[in-house]
Structure 1
């Protein structure tokens, strides 16, 4: 019986030590967007998007990844590249709502146009856990594009 308790305690200790290493912070999201923004400017959209989808290129870390959206056409916000869901590429998501009915992409588009950057909160499926979770994303506009990276709130 004591051995069972010891196993449980060791397992809980191991999990608690490992879990924080995978958690991403707001600073991580900002740093990734800024890194991606410079890379996109120097390499161009096609190469940048290819590399954003390549885990080895350094633009993905656990749940954190960078996506690019195009807001150059008035009233539209289209995915240029989404490394975790390539089926979204080319789709207009301006009207897309989260699981609570929040039109978060409209907020992203508006803040990108008026302030050039910002944060937005919404609920989205975590690609690592597969669960619907609260997420906050940081974004910056560049030449009519929006670069975005989000963290899941634990």
Structure 2
């Protein structure tokens, strides 16, 4: 049987913030009949994007979502202060942890201010931290935020959902002269 998957990526603007879900549906292309997917109607303002399993399309959508989540987090820090924002970034109900996506905040010397899913990293100097390939990714992120203000860094990191080291790309954005934050996607 020749099965192919279709990803359904849903982005919804909720009252408490942005949210994303993804679903994979197997489709049997051996049949001549047209495959139909029935989609539920979502309450509130939302849109649905149907993407065939091309990793380029799926990653592009997740990249856009990571940027949106990071920009929402920057606004949240500026409006509420770093202490309140960090509490919210670690609260699964606050809208800043979305499956494998979460917010982390560091200073310009690559010291972790707060990590959305791993509080053990809070307060640690990560400037000498290397990934499995020997890349000083945290230091690279701080440099990128200082010089360009925002952008993407690729590295290897433990996925909080699978607990496995996976390729990751993080979007980082400068909050102010002393602070930047990031949101990453796992590139399976």
Paired residue secondary structure (1:109): helix
- What TM-score, normalized to structure 1? 0.83
Answering whether residue 181 of structure 2 is matched by residue 147 of structure 1, we say yes
- Deviation at 1:38? 0.3
**Structure 2 residue aligned with 1:82:** 115
Paired residue secondary structure (1:150): strand
- Deviation at 1:19? 8.2
Tell me, which stretches of 5 or more residues in structure 2 are unaligned? 10-21, 24-57
Residue pairs, 1:1-150, within 5 angstroms: 16=5, 21=22, 25-71=62-108, 76-143=109-176, 144-150=178-184
Using the alignment, how far apart are the partners of 2:120 and 2:140 within structure 1? 22
Tell me, which stretches of 5 or more residues in structure 1 are unaligned? none
Greater RCO between the two (CA within 8 Å, min separation 6)? 1
Using the alignment, how far apart are the partners of 1:51 and 1:94 within structure 2? 25
- Deviation at 1:18? 7.6
Using the alignment, how far apart are the partners of 1:56 and 1:19 within structure 2? 23
Bigger fraction of residues in strand: 2
Using the alignment, how far apart are the partners of 2:94 and 2:77 within structure 1? 13
Using the alignment, how far apart are the partners of 1:83 and 1:26 within structure 2? 18
Bigger fraction of residues in helix: 1
Is the contact between residue 107 and residue 142 of structure 2 (CA under 8 Å) also seen in structure 1? no
CA 1:41–1:84 in structure 2 vs 1: closer, same or farther (change >3 Å)?
same
Using the alignment, how far apart are the partners of 1:115 and 1:63 within structure 2? 26
Paired residue secondary structure (1:29): helix
